[in-house]
Amino acid sequence: MCGIVGYVGTNPVLDILLDGLEQLEYRGYDSSGVAIKTESAINVYKAVGKLKNLREALKPYISDISASTIGIGHIRWATHGAPTIVNAHPHTCNCGNLVVVHNGIIENYKELKLKLEKQGCVFRSQTDTETVAHLVAQKYAQTKDLTKAVHLATKEIEGAYALEIMHNDEPNKLVITKRNAPLIIGVSEDGYYAASDIPAFIKHTNKAIYLSDNQVATITPDSLKIEDINGCEISPKVEQLPWEPVALSKMGYKHYMLKEIHEQPDVIRNILVGKLHTSDSPIELNEVKLTKETLKNLNRIQVIACGTSLHAAMVGKYLIEDFCGIPVDVEASSEYIYRKTVTDEHTLVIGVSQSGETADTLTAIKQAKARGSHILIITNRPDSAMAREADSLLSVNAGIEVSVAATKSYIAQLTSFYLLALYMAEIKGTVESDKLKHIKSEMLSLPQKIEQILSSKSEIQACARKYSGTKDFIYIARGLNYPTALEGALKLKEISYINATGYPAGELKHGPIAMLDETMPVLSILMNGSVYEKILSNSEEAKARNARMIALTNSSNDKLKDLFDYIIKVPDVDETLSPIIAIIPLQLIAYYIAEFLGKDVDQPRNLAKSVTVE
Ligand code: F6R
């Protein structure tokens, strides 16, 4: 949530900041702003709404700042105060000499604000960030040294922050620091970049330094000094990033979401490489650092996650309980952290997160770790804060996901859960070898089956168009695909703003059925297997209330034509693996409805891809 970017070097800074912010738009897009150092002052420019508004607002001033080579920028997802110009970053101290951009939340900002107001500071915005500008300026007045001022100020700040700060009296300098929020330094021959995430600078350099919590970096065009919390200098570790700028292009697709949906067959192939060779060979999961003896004796697993990752975790529960007979609790991280959870050194705790940054999940993981549990993290970002908490790290390697609505990272998380459950089952000996072989062989065929669905997407597009006028949508399923119903509904909600809900099909008659009439679409996820007949009966019940029935099925049963107005046919697959197949048409339905309605598919309103606030 919120993205920050800074540059100190020899190249013109404006385009570097604007391009960097564009790559960070996935973190929020309520407002944006930049502060640019000119010969005489630090100029601040801001605009409400998407970055294109800032680009527009800057046009009259380009000649004043085009030669500047030092600056900072911010893209906001509003937490404290409405998305207005006044609340947009960068924020300044009262004399305007000091500017700051911030990602995170200053938890004690009210107390700090009261204190600073008593000392004469005048606040203009409703943000927590403005306290930082006044506080650091106050410390600067005492020390006349920006680095020292930042050290002193951060000792009084509580909460999460990544900060970039400039002062007009130290014209060639950028001082940055962080605690519980990401901040990465890009290192190049032309200068230094500092950003919330790698896409902001990857086109300029693939050398980076991950700043650790409480470190303060002082950057000039030709020097970088990093100090720990006590002001002692430490030598930075420069890492080579395994990233290609091409990952950030739409590759000819209209939206990132559509491109990312199409990448899913390869995402599965990439995950399986080195882990699942043939249906006869055992699963290799060296990433799991628990001994075989401990795994055999595990008596409880907790999985914590949010949103789409939570739905992947729910499928994981079915798999682990079914294959391994170990009880698994799945809980939303935001609930987990505010109750007395029973966790100890005998519990395996699995955190699932695409971004590896989600504040609630990170806090939950830290709590579980403090109680002695082994922490296994499933994430798409092996460089994230959550990954750093892991005792075992399952990196899903789906490649950067730009669209705010998660698609390929969900498939990657699901695939990882299958591998994990099978790996544990093999160690525990809880699944017969024939069944294991069959499931593995089915897993290896998943990419082709998804490709088959994608090649007939025009039928799904037609279905989406037919139902795009609806105000509500119900998805029903049972068993393993109940999470698929929840995920399908979430996808539709978040990008089309249609009120969509997923229900266990058996629950329909316990209340939701009251909503059914001839206007309500009900999509039944009807995959061959143990609950097929049950869902069919539940679909009959919905049909009897005149609902507009849609089937998502791999069944060739002719009778379905009488019951359903629309049938989306998917390739046959073992019931165990059906969540991976069934979600693909649901992602496409959500995509095409949103696209047909003209919604901002990749950047839906009110959302951000990394939710770094609790
Ligand atoms: C929905 C979506 C969100 C995230 C949730 C958790 O498409 O992306 O629901 O799944 O905010 O984020 P991560 O997985 O990064 O922890």
Ligand 1 contacts CB of residue 611 (under 6 A): yes
Tokens of 428: 């525990």
> Given 3.60.20.10, 2.30.30.90, 3.40.50.10140, 3.20.20.70, which CATH number is that of 3-248?
3.60.20.10
Determine the angle formed by the axes of helices 408-428 and 433-455, rounding to 10 degrees: 170
CB contact at 8 A, 549 and 517: no
Asked if pLDDT for residue 226 goes beyond 70, the answer is: yes
Q: HEC profile for 513-541?
A: HHHCCCCCEEEEEECCCCCHHHHHHHHHH
Ligand 1 contacts CB of residue 361 (under 6 A): yes
Interval 427-482: pLDDT, tens? 999 999 999 999 999 999 999 999 999 999 999 999 999 999 999 999 999 999 99
Ligand 1 contacts CB of residue 354 (under 6 A): yes
Dist CA 406 CA 308 (whole Å): 7
Which residues face 464 on adjacent strands? Answer: none
3-state secondary structure of 476: strand
How many angstroms does the Cα of residue 401 sit away from the middle of ligand 1?
Answer: 11
How many angstroms does the Cα of residue 609 sit away from the middle of ligand 1?
Answer: 7
The reply to whether 458-596 shares the fold of 256-452 is: yes
Ligand 1 contacts CB of residue 309 (under 6 A): yes
The answer to pTM > 0.85 is no
How many angstroms does the Cα of residue 257 sit away from the middle of ligand 1?
Answer: 14
Q: What is the DSSP string of 11-32?
A: S-HHHHHHHHHHHTGGG--SEE
How many angstroms does the Cα of residue 409 sit away from the middle of ligand 1?
Answer: 9
Closest CA to 30 of 69, 79, 72: 79
Catalytically annotated residues: 2, 609
Asked if pLDDT for residue 63 goes beyond 90, the answer is: yes
Q: Report residue 245's pLDDT band, with 50, 70 and 90 as the boundaries.
A: low
Ligand 1 contacts CB of residue 272 (under 6 A): no
Sign, CA dihedral 153-156-157-162, equals positive
Residue of 260, 337, 353 to mutate, ligand 1, most atoms within 8 A of C-beta: 353
How many angstroms does the Cα of residue 271 sit away from the middle of ligand 1?
Answer: 20
> 536: which residues sit within 8 A by CB, 6+ positions away?
524, 526, 563
Helix residue spans in 223-358 (DSSP H): 256-262, 264-272, 292-297, 307-324, 333-336
* pLDDT score recorded for residue 246: 61
Going by alpha carbons, the residue nearest to atom 5 of ligand 1 is 307
**Radius of gyration in angstroms for the set of CA atoms belonging to the chain, rounded to a whole number:** 26
**Strand ranges of the sheet holding 70-76, from the earlier edge strand across to the other edge:** 42-48, 31-37, 70-76, 3-9, 191-195, 184-188, 207-210, 239-240
Interval 532-572: pLDDT, tens? 999 999 999 999 999 999 999 999 999 899 999 999 999 99
Dist CA 216 CA 224 (whole Å): 10
Ligand 1 contacts CB of residue 385 (under 6 A): no
| Mean pLDDT computed over 212-222 | 95
Ligand 1 contacts CB of residue 358 (under 6 A): yes
Interval 475-487: pLDDT, tens? 999 999 999 999 9
CB contact at 8 A, 186 and 192: yes
3-state secondary structure of 176: strand
User: Do strands 566-569 and 521-526 pair parallel, antiparallel, or not at all (unpaired)?
Assistant: unpaired
The ranges assigned to domains in the chain are 3-248, 256-452, 458-596
Ligand 1 contacts CB of residue 5 (under 6 A): no
Asked if pLDDT for residue 244 goes beyond 80, the answer is: no
What is the domain class of 256-452 according to CATH? alpha beta
Q: Does domain 458-596 have CATH number 3.40.50.10490?
A: yes
Asked if pLDDT for residue 165 goes beyond 90, the answer is: yes
| Mean pLDDT computed over 191-213 | 94
Mean pLDDT of the chain: 94
409 CA: nearest ligand 1 atom: 14
* pLDDT score recorded for residue 193: 98
413 CA: nearest ligand 1 atom: 14
Q: Report residue 247's pLDDT band, with 50, 70 and 90 as the boundaries.
A: low
How many angstroms does the Cα of residue 614 sit away from the middle of ligand 1?
Answer: 13
Question: Higher-confidence residue: 32 or 611?
Answer: 32
CB contact at 8 A, 68 and 39: no
For residue 354, what are the CA distances in angstroms to 136, 400, 408, 413?
34, 10, 10, 8
How many angstroms does the Cα of residue 445 sit away from the middle of ligand 1?
Answer: 27
Going by alpha carbons, the residue nearest to atom 16 of ligand 1 is 353
Ligand 1 contacts CB of residue 587 (under 6 A): no
Ligand 1 contacts CB of residue 353 (under 6 A): yes
Determine the angle formed by the axes of helices 307-324 and 482-496, rounding to 10 degrees: 170
* pLDDT score recorded for residue 302: 97
Interval 345-386: pLDDT, tens? 788 999 999 999 998 999 999 999 998 999 999 999 988 889
Dist CA 12 CA 67 (whole Å): 6
Q: HEC profile for 263-302?
A: CHHHHHHHHHCCCCCCCCCCCCCCCCCCCHHHHHHCCEEE
Tokens of 89: 């970053």
Ligand 1 contacts CB of residue 355 (under 6 A): yes
355 CA: nearest ligand 1 atom: 15
Q: What is the DSSP string of 194-210?
A: EESSGGGTTTT-SEEEE
CB contact at 8 A, 350 and 316: yes
Residue of 355, 365, 491 to mutate, ligand 1, most atoms within 8 A of C-beta: 355
